[in-house]
Amino acid sequence: MYSRGKLDPTKEIRLLKTLSTLISHWLLARRYDPLYTGSNLHAIRYELRPGDLVLVEGQTRVARIIQRLTLSSWSHVMLYLGRVHDVEDRHIRHRVQSFCNASPEDMLILESEMGRGTVVQTLDHYSDYHLRILRPKNIRYQDVQTVIAFCVDRLGKEYNLRQIVDLMRYLLPWKVLPRRWGSSLFRYQPNSPTTVCSTLLAEAYAAVDFPVLPLIKDDSDGQYRLFQRNPMFVYPATFDKSPYFDVIKTAHVDHGPVRGAYKLMPWRGHLQLDEPEQDYYIQDHDHDDKA
């Protein structure tokens, strides 16, 4: 028996889930940007190695929020697993297969995504996105397998929508909350039942003592020590800023590494700009007439 005006706990949970779903759908709506250009997926495929991170320049509402708050174009980060046979441990390999019905040729990524949780899917899902490869410097092969095992073990975890809300509250230029409350927003809890993409990967690399963007403290005797960053304060942009990851850039159109090869790029031709594109790009009519 509940007092009048008090909501049944079961109905309250159902209402909260419904609101969460509606908010997620609104945040995941993709917006058109005439300046947005996807990556050359063929070049991305050629460069990727198991254990690499893949940054994503998202186009959804939540992606725009993360980009603005973190002052970066990168809104999402994923772990490249390789193909199924690249996963060394048999049990881990079977777990990957149980979460993704992939063929032996499929290139697999692991991510924590709003609305889906921690999942495995093929790289083709991001075929029209702008991507960047980050490679951990000099990481040992066995540590790569440990990072993969760590993340695969957490498949099925739900996405931590609350952490994104807390990020917004923490990074807003004006103070919504008293300063003394700020530190409690991101109080780290290992083995939490929920996660986000960057937190999961920060935990995975910390498990093998690989630095992301650590704090370095030294004393008057010249001794120093590294402290791993709180995984909840790691964003996709944090990996991009880290000096311990190499940036592997790929060209939209590949004309080879030969000096002067840019002269072979197709600046002339019969293709024309559409109306939205004309505001952002230049149509060189003189060159077109000579072509």
Query: Which domains are assigned to the chain?
Result: 9-248 (3.90.1720.10)
What does the pLDDT read at residue 258? 67
What does the pLDDT read at residue 153? 94
Each of the 291 residues of the chain gets a pLDDT tens digit; together they read: 445 556 577 776 677 677 767 776 777 777 777 777 788 899 999 999 999 999 999 888 888 888 888 889 999 999 999 999 999 999 999 999 999 888 999 999 999 988 788 999 999 999 989 999 999 999 999 999 999 999 999 999 887 667 666 666 666 655 555 555 555 556 666 667 667 889 999 999 999 999 999 988 887 788 888 888 888 889 999 999 999 999 998 877 766 666 777 777 777 888 888 877 777 778 775 554 544
CB proximity list for 11: less than 8 A, separation 6 or greater:
none
* CA–CA distance, 157 with 236 (Å, rounded to integer): 19
What does the pLDDT read at residue 106? 95
* CA–CA distance, 142 with 288 (Å, rounded to integer): 55
> Where do the DSSP E strands lie in the chain?
53-57, 76-82, 108-113, 117-122, 130-136, 158-159, 194-195, 215-218, 224-227, 245-248
DSSP H helix total and E strand total for the chain: 10, 10
Contact between 120 and 81 under an 8 Å Cβ cutoff? The reply is yes
Contact between 231 and 202 under an 8 Å Cβ cutoff? The reply is yes
What does the pLDDT read at residue 222? 80
Sign of the alpha-carbon torsion through 222, 223, 228, 230 = negative
Q: Which residues pair with 131 in a beta bridge?
A: 56
What does the pLDDT read at residue 184? 52
Q: Which of 213, 182, 117, 101 is closest to 156 using CA atoms?
A: 117
What does the pLDDT read at residue 125? 92
What are the percentages of helix, strand and coil residues in the chain, rounded to 5? 40, 15, 45
CB proximity list for 15: less than 8 A, separation 6 or greater:
7
- Can you give the pTM of this predicted structure? 0.78
Coil vs helix vs strand at 218: strand
Q: Where are the alpha helices (DSSP H) in 114-160?
A: 141-152
pLDDT (tens digit per residue) in 245-274? 999 988 777 666 667 777 777 778 888 888
Residue for token pair 């198991």: 50
